[in-house]
Structure 1
Amino acid sequence: MLKHTYRLLALLLLLLASIDAQAQQGELDAYERKMYTNGNDTLPYRILYPKGFNPSKKYPLVLVLHGAGERGNNNEAQLVYGAKRFLEEQEQFPAIVVFPQCPKDSYWSNVDIVKDETGERIFNFQDSGKPTEAMQSLLGLLKQLRKSGYVDKDRVYLGGLSMGGMGTFELLRRKPSTFAAAFPICGGGAPESAKKYAKKVDLWIFHGEVDSVVPVEHSKAMAKSLEEAGSDVKLTVYPGVNHNSWDYAFKEPELLSWIFSHKKK
């Protein structure tokens, strides 16, 4: 009898989890499915338009880059982190919010990742070099969106987590005059590139203190170089937090108000 009760409870919990997941996915259907195409370059993305969207008006644009685990082509996985926050505060902060999806065989950043003799991953961030296929498509998508006629070019924002945090730093160095503010989460970049955008873009950087995937030192190094180059940079390190610092960053009460308070310098 007791074993039967446990089975029923387990089934009930699974059913409730499934209903909750479906409800959340239903909410995120507000993000329309789109595909960027230019020759052989393609990039699936989801886009949230403000309520009462009027293409004759101009709106802020937010570009959010996901991590390596959300790569693929289903045009869904990239919404798992952060998308709900922008949707929930859409009334207060009306904006166009875009979540592109990186292909499984590509990477947002052209970082060179190698393993040392202990098997630990070493991230060698590049200050130049050819963009990855995903970054090339992302650059094309960004150009297309900025030319749409309904984007306020003084209020274009960028952020991302893990691989997307790395892509954030790289996109800033490739397009240093495009963005008003950026929020890289548990990422990293080439500290020597910070001077290219330090005085043009304000940043709020997030990282977990005990990140075992992408060491916090990478964010600290970027923050130090940005500050030395004259940037108004904020660094938030979460004590005792591992790689999932995005869970905390996207719950920061002031995150969206901080983002949308900025205009291009």
Structure 2
Amino acid sequence: MNTLKTYFPVLVAILICCSSSGLSAQDKSLFEKRVFVNHKGDSLLYRILYPEHYDNGKKYPMVLFLHGAGERGNDNEKQLTHGADLFLSPENREHFPAIVVFPQCPMDKYWIDISVRKELFGKGDPDFSQSVEQPSEQLDLVNDLTKKLIKENRIDKKRLYIMGLSMGGFGTFETLGRWPKKYAAAIAICGGGNLSLAKKYAPHTSLWITHGGKDDIVPPILSQRVYKKLKEEGADVKYSLYPEANHNAWDPTFDEPDLLHWLFSKHK
């Protein structure tokens, strides 16, 4: 009996942890699994979350979220590793009803042209001017997906938003540069971008750029350059550097109490 008393609190804690894990998994299942196929037959896996009380009589903002390189694959699950919980929060679902889309990049692909990544290793042009004339195949697919979703759903085209972290942070800047008038606001986490494209979206998109001060994967200077260029162009842009964060700048970013309020307050 004493042994049971000793271990009972531990057993309760384990059960609570298991229950919490189950709820978390159940929550992520609210993101419906879908596959988009374009006119060429190319496919893109994605997950989509609808508002709790979806009303066909209303129009909703849409948030596009681009994951990092570590979440690439073909399971249509890993892309929800970072960021999904932010939109699954009951409080956020109540106060910020939106259609949220998480596409998944294949393991051997990138949101941006691969040559741009040379800068991460101290090679190439510091302003990423070596990037190709056109967006990557994957970003083209993502853009086609968003066009289809806008056409088929009750989406407010004046309230389109994009977020991304790491590889997705690069993809966010690149997306804005390729389709500069499309998104009302963007949150770019620990990324970087082509400075020559910044002037295209500076007048049209509000940005919140974040980075970890100790990031040893993507140097903070890469996002700071974009911020500086956007300020020069008169953009509505803010920059948050988290001194103690490494590459996981998404953690303090998602903890920003004003993050979603800021995002959803922006419109064309």
State the distance in 1 between where 2:75 and 2:18 align: 19
State the distance in 2 between where 1:16 and 1:161 align: 31
Superposition map of 1:45-194 within 5 A? 45-88=46-89, 89-112=92-115, 113-114=117-118, 120=121, 122=123, 125-126=128-129, 128-194=132-198
Contact in 1 for aligned 2:173/2:188 (Cα 8 Å): yes
Deviation at 1:53, TM superposition (A): 0.9
Superposition map of 1:225-244 within 5 A? 225-244=229-248
Q: Which amino acid aligns with 2:215?
A: D
Contact in 2 for aligned 1:106/1:132 (Cα 8 Å): no
Partner of 1:57, secondary structure, is coil
Q: Which amino acid aligns with 1:67?
A: G
State the distance in 2 between where 1:212 and 1:146 align: 38
State the distance in 2 between where 1:246 and 1:97 align: 17
Deviation at 1:10, TM superposition (A): 11
The answer on 1:23 being equivalent to 2:20 is no
Contact in 1 for aligned 2:135/2:178 (Cα 8 Å): no
The answer on 1:202 being equivalent to 2:206 is yes
Gaps spanning 5+ residues in structure 1: where? 1-8
Q: Cα gap change, 1:101/1:18 in structure 2, threshold over 3 Å: closer, same or farther?
A: farther
Contact in 2 for aligned 1:161/1:187 (Cα 8 Å): yes
- Runs of 4+ residues over 4 Å off in structure 1: 9-19, 121-124
Contact in 2 for aligned 1:36/1:42 (Cα 8 Å): yes
2:44 matched residue in structure 1: 43
Partner of 2:266, secondary structure, is coil
Q: Which amino acid aligns with 2:136?
A: T
Contact in 2 for aligned 1:110/1:130 (Cα 8 Å): no
Contact in 2 for aligned 1:169/1:184 (Cα 8 Å): yes
Superposition map of 1:206-217 within 5 A? 206-217=210-221
Deviation at 1:210, TM superposition (A): 1.2
State the distance in 2 between where 1:138 and 1:57 align: 24
State the distance in 2 between where 1:13 and 1:196 align: 53
Root-mean-square deviation (CA, aligned residues, Å) is 2.4
Deviation at 1:132, TM superposition (A): 2.3
Q: Which amino acid aligns with 1:64?
A: F
2:5 matched residue in structure 1: none
State the distance in 1 between where 2:124 and 2:161 align: 25
Q: Which amino acid aligns with 2:111?
A: W
State the distance in 2 between where 1:25 and 1:153 align: 31
Partner of 2:73, secondary structure, is coil
State the TM-score, normalized to the length of structure 2.
Answer: 0.88
Q: Which amino acid aligns with 1:43?
A: L
Partner of 2:64, secondary structure, is strand
Note the alpha carbon deviations across 1:115-168, whole angstroms, 9 max, x for none.
89xxx4547534542332211211110111222241100000001000000000
Structure number with higher helix proportion: 2
Q: Which amino acid aligns with 1:60?
A: P
1:5 matched residue in structure 2: none
Gaps spanning 5+ residues in structure 2: where? 1-8
Partner of 2:240, secondary structure, is strand
1:4 matched residue in structure 2: none
Note the alpha carbon deviations across 1:200-239, whole angstroms, 9 max, x for none.
1000000001100000001100000000001011000001
Contact in 2 for aligned 1:62/1:96 (Cα 8 Å): yes
Contact in 2 for aligned 1:165/1:186 (Cα 8 Å): yes
